[in-house]
Amino acid sequence: MILRKEFFTFTELNIITMHFNVLKYFILISAFVIGTNDVKAQRKSKKNNTVVSDVTIKTSPKLVVGIVVDQMRYDYLTRFWNHYEDGGFKRMVNEGFNCKNNHFNYAPTSTGPGHASVYTGTSPATHGIIGNDWFDKELGKSVYCAGDDGYASVGTTSKAGKMSPHRMITTTITDELRLHTQMRGKTIAIALKDRGAVLPGGHTANAAYWFDGNKAANWITSSYYMKELPKWVADFNSAKSVAKYKKPWDTAKPINTYLESVIDNNPYEGLFKGETTPTFPHDLPKLWEENGNYSILKSSPYGNSLTADFAIAAIEGENLGADNIPDFLAISFSSTDYVGHKFGVDSKEVQDTYIQLDKDLSRLFSELDKKVGAGEYTVFLSADHAAVPVPAYLKDKKIPAAYFDSNEMKEKLNEFVKFTYGTTDLIKDISNYQIFLDHKVIKNLDMSLKEVEESLAIEILNYKDIDRVFTGHQMWQSNYTHGIPYILQNGFNQKRSGDVLFVLRPDVISYSKTGSTHGSPQIYDTHAPLLFFGKGIKRGSTVARTEIPDIAPTMAALLGVSFPSGTTGKPIVEVLE
């Protein structure tokens, strides 16, 4: 229909024009809405496709490197910070994530339980490694956490290789990664100490290697893993790669710059056999035979350097991180513990050992960058326990400190038991700050185990150096959530632990008058570093409390594998990208 303007009045024309404009606007709006909906639908479809195809449900580094530094206090990071290079501890802190308030949540704090707890994601109450050694209630004798006479030594004629992880009753993160990859991913574990390799390697490790010093100076293993050493290990041993460390131990930097430690010549440090003062330089070649030949290297920074050498050789020899199936390299640096025990946490020897370890870490990370690829591997670093300052040194600084006489306690306790019950046969063993009772004797005497436990607890609580006491019955019946009781309960295994648990005063330790030790539930033994860096790790830090059993589930969440079978820790969400 044609509308001719002359047939309409001015008003009618305005009305018609307005209707046309409204219609035009409606058409435009409709087209826009329809188009917008189409675009939204397309975007939604694309977004859904992106979610399905690109979402990250796991991180797949070519290699995971777990590092445990034996007897490392958290404050070794901060005290010696200005002496560290950019490529070692500083690289981990600056490029990775630092958990500043990380703690062991159990006692005793020692090497075997420490390594087991890092890798199982749980505490001794669950994984069963309640000490380096402990009294076995079924066998009626002390057993070693990694000892196993059912296997033979490989690489040595000594008994040093008769080891396996059979006393650890849960899986590890290394086991879970092996299972997840249908055993295609490799696990190699390395440490000077056998327990520092056997327990992190888990039950399914391709190999665990440790150092047999003395005159042979070989890296060895157990028939649990293999019948003979692979060629690369045999070559490493035959090349006598350790011989270069038979040299004097002097400081890596001028000793007058070591202001973070006490004077070099002091009465708080132990001596190598043949030394008259605990001072630098330590002439290791001169002290060689009297201190076990190559075994003396364990108590020097060179033991850590040798460990780094062997770990780098393992990366090459085992082709670790060479494909897209994740492998695992577990390394424990043990010399820090030997040095700390001999010289004490405030010694210049400890400071130098960490400065030189930092160089070894830098060297290790550099090799990983070359062989695996920067950004293609993930690392965590922690400790198996911390350590206490030498009480004799603290006393001289007017800080409360003392030494515990365990023999005096045993004599007094035996007198009490003899007087009260007419026999000392009630007590089978006292070790790891626990008293093991003979349940059969108690039953034959028609006594209540609970009452006997309480009687002994009340008695020893009166002893001058005892801070608190708990009974096995309390560990069974209570659910502690914080403090010393919580720490003790996490270390209490119902089948393996003792019947009475005692804790020394915070200012009292059981050790020699020189050097440092560990093992208590006190904070100086529980506060240890925890660093993450590499693929899948955020940059940052936290002062929120984290605990050692959190490490394994954090790595499991990152890798997308099952948590170890006894896991009680939780993933540290701040760490993961």
pLDDT digits (tens, 9 = 90+) for 97-129: 999 999 999 999 999 999 999 999 999 999 999
pLDDT tops 90 at residue 20? no
Average pLDDT over residues 321-328: 97
CA dist list (Å): 426 to 413, 436, 454, 490 = 11, 9, 14, 26
Taking only the tens place, the pLDDT of each residue in 453-495 is 999 999 999 999 999 999 999 999 999 999 999 999 999 999 9
pLDDT score at 35: 44
Taking only the tens place, the pLDDT of each residue in 497-524 is 999 999 999 999 999 999 999 999 999 9
pLDDT tops 80 at residue 321? yes
Q: Which of 229, 215, 224 is nearest to 146 (CA)?
A: 224
Residues carrying CATH 3.30.1360.150, the chain: 405-464+466-504
Average pLDDT over residues 10-25: 43
User: Which residue spans within 334-473 are E strands per DSSP?
Assistant: 377-383, 402-403, 427-431, 434-437, 466-471
pLDDT tops 50 at residue 14? no
pLDDT tops 90 at residue 535? yes
pLDDT tops 70 at residue 49? no
Q: How many CB atoms lie within 10 A of CB 170?
A: 22
pLDDT tops 60 at residue 409? yes
pLDDT score at 172: 98
pLDDT score at 393: 97
- To the nearest 10°, report the CA torsion of 75, 81, 87, 93: 50
Average pLDDT taken over every residue of the chain: 92
Tell whether the torsion through CA atoms of 144, 149, 150 and 151 is positive or negative. Answer: positive
Catalytic residues: 111
Residues carrying CATH 3.40.720.10, the chain: 63-134+142-397+517-575
pLDDT tops 80 at residue 211? yes
The residue assigned the tokens 């035979």 is: 289
Q: How many CB atoms lie within 10 A of CB 415?
A: 12
Q: Which of 460, 257, 236 is nearest to 352 (CA)?
A: 257
pLDDT score at 31: 42
Spatial neighbors of 259 by CB under 8 A, at least 6 apart, are none
pLDDT tops 60 at residue 29? no
Q: Which of 167, 138, 134 is nearest to 438 (CA)?
A: 138
pLDDT score at 56: 78
pLDDT score at 42: 43
Q: CB–CB of 71/384 below 8 Å?
A: yes
pLDDT score at 199: 98
- 63-134+142-397+517-575: in CATH 1.10.287.130: no
pLDDT score at 55: 67
pLDDT score at 13: 38
pLDDT score at 32: 39
CATH architecture of 405-464+466-504: 2-Layer Sandwich (3.30)
| Bridge partner list, 576 | 537
Q: CB–CB of 354/76 below 8 Å?
A: yes
Report how far residue 352's alpha carbon sits from residue 301's, in angstroms, rounded to the nearest whole number. 8
pLDDT tops 90 at residue 26? no
pLDDT score at 163: 98
Spatial neighbors of 506 by CB under 8 A, at least 6 apart, are 467, 522
**φ/ψ bin of 184: left (φ > 0), alpha (ψ from -120 to 50), beta (otherwise):** alpha
More confident residue, 49 or 369: 369
